[in-house]
């Protein structure tokens, strides 16, 4: 039987599997030359220059554009919520999903402000949302995931279905002309699986990964930590873990898939499917806070090249989030203290990304503007 430490030792590290933007050195040099020769001191626009380079590399052009931005918001409930690991009850998931259809959520406001088309997708909310036609019904299971304190949160078939929902949604957005996508979530208790993924994938003590979520007090955090520790111990104890022994030699990603389905939520796995498909289609992927960063972490282990397409938008106050980003080599654009979820941090960062693209396309250069190059 493998321990989680042994599983962790089989996981691919960032960059091990190569891949990525797949453009030649000549193009990269030409893109950097264009950025360096805009009429400004070299490097004086800081992160905007880095973003312009990244987006140019993604789109393989010296004149990148952002077209038809789409925000995918996946909703689902979690069996682990039954253990009292969140200050919010599970009915908040469906109530908020319904609220989004009325335009009353934070995500609605920011989508309107920044011109994002909002897609609401139910992948496992524990409520009948058929009265809300604006919510796309893609339920993997009608009541959300199983309680991972007692066994896997989902079956292999359910995991694949959730991944396919995410892929489907990205394909649909891409067909409409979208080349930049942001992803949000709604699922009470989803900081719990995020904390476990962070601990197991990065080899960190669970204590460094567990925080207050939507507002737990110190006693609540201690209870949450205890439940999550027992959940990991239960996973290590069950016979199913033995199956990984025979699969390692065939597919090094299988341990990742096992951890993904054992602890993940349907909305989280759908988000991973969306992230991976967006990278395959060479789209810009905007990553929100703690939960979406945990999904990006899983996506990056399944496909290390994913990191080339991801822009990490916000570092929140959830315990361990900054540490997670540091271990991933990610530099978030904002730190606003947000802990709402829904993808709001990604949406708030969009104007900065838009500015980077405008910079490379609209600023003149030294030669055309007859300015002496002074560096």
The pLDDT of residue 213 is 65
In a domain, 373, yes or no: no
Residue at token pair 């789209």: 283
Walk along the chain (375 residues) and give the pLDDT tens digit of each residue.
344 444 443 333 333 333 566 667 889 999 999 999 998 888 889 999 999 999 999 999 999 999 999 999 999 999 999 999 998 999 999 999 999 999 999 999 999 999 999 999 999 999 999 999 999 999 999 999 999 999 999 999 999 999 999 999 999 999 999 999 999 999 999 999 999 999 999 999 999 999 776 678 888 899 999 999 999 999 888 745 444 443 333 344 578 999 999 999 999 999 999 999 999 999 999 999 999 999 999 999 999 999 999 999 999 877 789 999 999 999 999 999 887 889 999 999 999 999 999 999 999 886 766 565 655
The pLDDT of residue 23 is 64
Range(s) of the domain holding residue 191: 4-11+20-362
**What residues form DSSP beta bridges with 370?**
none
H/E stretch holding 318 reads none
The pLDDT of residue 351 is 97
Q: Using an 8 Å Cβ cutoff, are 287 and 329 in contact? A: no
Q: Packing angle between helix 290-302 and helix 254-263, nearest 10 degrees?
A: 160
The pLDDT of residue 237 is 80
The pLDDT of residue 371 is 63
In a domain, 132, yes or no: yes
Query: Exposure pattern of 304-314 as b/e (b: 16+ CB <10 Å)?
Result: bbbbbbbbbbb
The pLDDT of residue 87 is 87
Active-site residue (options: 49, 185, 267, 342): 342
H/E stretch holding 326 reads helix 321-328
Which residues does 26 contact at the CB level (< 8 Å), separation at least 6? none
In a domain, 370, yes or no: no
C-alpha of 39 from chain center? 35
- How many other CB atoms are found less than 10 A from the CB of residue 115? 11
- 50 catalytically annotated: no
In a domain, 237, yes or no: yes
The pLDDT of residue 9 is 38
In a domain, 176, yes or no: yes
CA dihedral 221, 224, 226, 228 (to 10 degrees): -140
Beta strands in the chain (DSSP E): 70-76, 117-124, 135-137, 180-186, 284-287, 310-312
Q: Using an 8 Å Cβ cutoff, are 31 and 50 in contact? A: no
The pLDDT of residue 151 is 94
In a domain, 88, yes or no: yes
Q: For residue 72, give the CATH number of its domain.
A: 3.40.50.10210
Q: How many domains does the chain have?
A: 1
In a domain, 287, yes or no: yes
In a domain, 374, yes or no: no
């Amino acid at each position: 039987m493998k321990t989680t430490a042994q599983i962790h030792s089989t996981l691919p590290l960032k960059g091990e599997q190569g891949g990525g933007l797949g453009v030649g050195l000549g193009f990269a040099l030409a893109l950097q030359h264009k950025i360096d020769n805009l009429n400004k001191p070299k490097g004086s626009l800081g992160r905007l220059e880095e973003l312009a380079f990244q987006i140019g590399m993604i789109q393989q052009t010296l004149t990148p554009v952002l077209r038809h931005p789409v925000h995918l918001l996946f909703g689902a409930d979690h069996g682990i919520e039954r253990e009292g690991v969140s200050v919010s009850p599970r009915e908040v998931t469906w109530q908020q999903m319904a609220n989004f259809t009325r335009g009353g959520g934070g995500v609605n406001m920011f989508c309107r402000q920044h011109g994002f088309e909002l897609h609401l997708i139910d992948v496992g909310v524990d409520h009948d949302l058929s009265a809300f036609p604006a919510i796309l019904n893609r339920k993997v299971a009608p009541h959300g995931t199983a309680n991972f304190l007692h066994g896997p949160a989902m079956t292999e078939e359910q995991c694949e279905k959730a991944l396919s929902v995410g892929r489907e949604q990205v394909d649909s957005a891409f067909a409409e002309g979208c080349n930049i996508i942001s992803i949000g979530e709604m699922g009470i208790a989803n900081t719990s699986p995020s904390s476990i993924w962070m601990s197991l994938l990065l080899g960190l003590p669970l204590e460094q990964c567990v925080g207050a979520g939507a507002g737990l007090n110190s006693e609540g955090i201690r209870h949450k930590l205890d439940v999550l520790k027992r959940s990991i111990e239960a996973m290590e104890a069950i016979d199913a873990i033995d199956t990984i022994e025979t699969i390692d030699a065939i597919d090094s990603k299988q341990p990742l898939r096992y951890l993904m389905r054992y602890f993940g939520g349907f909305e989280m796995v759908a988000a991973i499917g969306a992230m991976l498909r967006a990278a395959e289609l060479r789209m810009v992927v905007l990553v929100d806070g703690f939960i979406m960063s945990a999904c990006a972490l899983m996506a990056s282990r399944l496909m290390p090249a994913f990191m080339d397409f991801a822009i990490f938008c916000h570092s929140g106050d959830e315990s361990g989030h900054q540490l997670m980003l540091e271990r991933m080599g990610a530099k978030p654009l904002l730190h606003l203290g947000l802990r709402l979820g829904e993808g709001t941090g990604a949406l708030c960062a969009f104007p900065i990304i838009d500015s980077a693209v405008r910079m490379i396309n609209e600023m003149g250069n030294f030669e055309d503007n007859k300015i002496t190059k002074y560096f």
